[in-house]
Amino acid sequence: MKTEKAGEYAALLCIIVAVLAGLATPWLAATTAGYIAILLVVLGIIIGLTTISEKEVTAFLITTIVFVVGAAALPFAPIDAVAAPLGTLLNAIVRNIAVFVMPAALIVGFKAVYALAAKK
């Protein structure tokens, strides 16, 4: 039960950090952005190890695909032509969320493959 709470707090912290860091992107130094990415990866690992149940695996992995593809596509870039730097900030937020869900998805995926292999 305590590990589930830790995962819930890690997820909430990730979302807060991802949004705040995304909004601060134009003013962050490269090293600061790197430290934020490391924090998001570590929290993503905690989420992957503690929070996602077996019933939630499929939904979580599909959601991860949405964030990772969305981050790679830079869907909000055209907004900068009208309201700069709003598109850049929105893309940074999505990218930061992808940074923390990707390690969680890798762990959840490994756990799912192991569970499938163990059943046979």
Token pair, residue 43, equals: 């929290």
Q: What pLDDT shows up at residue 10?
A: 85
Task: Output Rg (C-alpha) for the chain, integer angstroms.
Answer: 16
* pTM as predicted: 0.90
Q: How far apart are CA 64 and CA 48, in angstroms?
A: 12
Q: How far apart are CA 5 and CA 67, in angstroms?
A: 24
Query: What pLDDT digit, counting tens, does each position of 78-104 carry?
Result: 999 999 999 999 999 999 999 999 999
120 has pLDDT over 70 = no
- CB count in 10 Å sphere of residue 106: 14
- CB count in 10 Å sphere of residue 41: 16
1 has pLDDT over 70 = no
